[in-house]
Structure 1
């Protein structure tokens, strides 16, 4: 918690949280460059001076949102990976179990609030700008522990040696976040409901299969 947040009154804290919540939704819908500080202020029902007082401007507000989202996700990821023993990378079944737990954890996080994957994916489709290095630092902190775990498993021969882990992880995260943006293909309406129980179970089963197959952890016939 920063010093400013410690000094906020309950009313100020409520205004700050309201700004963050509404701005997150607007950024997820329109992108960083697609919404102005005045539009954020109008959506919150506050004047722009109040928004600037609480957040320091659009750039600082967006950075607060990104930092909060990535730090929360990092806590969920490390909650799974921090207790993994060194021998897991040598044991295919143990590694499958850890990856399955991590996948279920990420899905639980994403289905809680669909603005997160929508904001991420919209941001990824935007041109690089002055915020890219800041965002890269945050995202690397989230994704690097999984990369390092898989790299160790690859080094000892537990997973496929010919798999490009950078491409694999990029593809995995695009599928994961993309599902929660559009849901599965619905051949009548095109976009399906990602939180529909049957849809979600089918997606989880598919992604589990994708992980173990691509990593070479599936049992051989």
Structure 2
């Protein structure tokens, strides 16, 4: 017999998957209930409104992302060399996004104007994540904020859509050769962003 905690976890898992696949605006609570095997009243009982459910999904994504980035920033500090440390940090973030594809999907949908009426996730979750990384690169004489967003959008885009080859075929996270090629490109990009003359 399912416990209330089990039911809540089923709702959150279903909502995370559906919000990542279809976005907040493209997902109904009825669909979340169906995907979790629960009725709409049970969904509301465990998580409240659709907006409250979305906030919890984003909070959980943030918690996992913050843990991964905190570890990676610690490695950055230990690296000594700024560029080598940044490449390590970016590589760790790519690994995290590849292992947790729903998280870049949630953010990409969000940044493409999904869930516009739920205004808190950027202030509560995106900026603390960005701030952690920006603080590690403070006083470096570059527009590190723009570099951060450039790399973040690139990683999220790759994790969601991969790359399209000239023959029109899409290659992405499921193709190790493409991942390796993209990882090498990221190393080149990060090096250029941090060493070019401003």
SS state of the match for residue 139, structure 2? helix
CA RMSD of aligned residues (A): 2.4
**Where does residue 216 of structure 1 map in the other structure?**
195
- Displacement after TM superposition at 1:52 (Å): 1.0
Contiguous gaps of at least 5 residues in structure 2: none
Check if 1:182 corresponds to 2:161. yes
**Where does residue 49 of structure 2 map in the other structure?**
57
Q: Distance in 2 between matches of 1:134 and 1:207?
A: 27
Q: TM-score normalised to the size of structure 2?
A: 0.88
Higher Cα radius of gyration: 1
Moved more, 10-19 or 115-124: 10-19
**Where does residue 120 of structure 1 map in the other structure?**
107
In structure 2, do the counterparts of structure 1 residues 204 and 164 end up closer, same or farther at CA, with 3 Å as the change threshold?
Answer: same
- Superposed counterparts of 1:60-79, under 5 Å: 60-79=52-71
Q: Is the 8 A contact 2:23 2:114 kept in 1?
A: no
**Where does residue 3 of structure 1 map in the other structure?**
none
Q: Is the 8 A contact 2:159 2:173 kept in 1?
A: yes
Moved more, 105-114 or 145-154: 145-154
In structure 2, do the counterparts of structure 1 residues 127 and 24 end up closer, same or farther at CA, with 3 Å as the change threshold?
Answer: closer
In structure 2, do the counterparts of structure 1 residues 213 and 116 end up closer, same or farther at CA, with 3 Å as the change threshold?
Answer: same
Q: Is the 8 A contact 1:16 1:55 kept in 2?
A: yes
Check if 1:140 corresponds to 2:119. no
In structure 2, do the counterparts of structure 1 residues 150 and 134 end up closer, same or farther at CA, with 3 Å as the change threshold?
Answer: same
Q: Distance in 2 between matches of 1:148 and 1:37?
A: 39
Moved more, 70-79 or 134-143: 134-143
**Where does residue 4 of structure 2 map in the other structure?**
12
- How many residues are aligned here? 197
Moved more, 9-18 or 207-216: 9-18
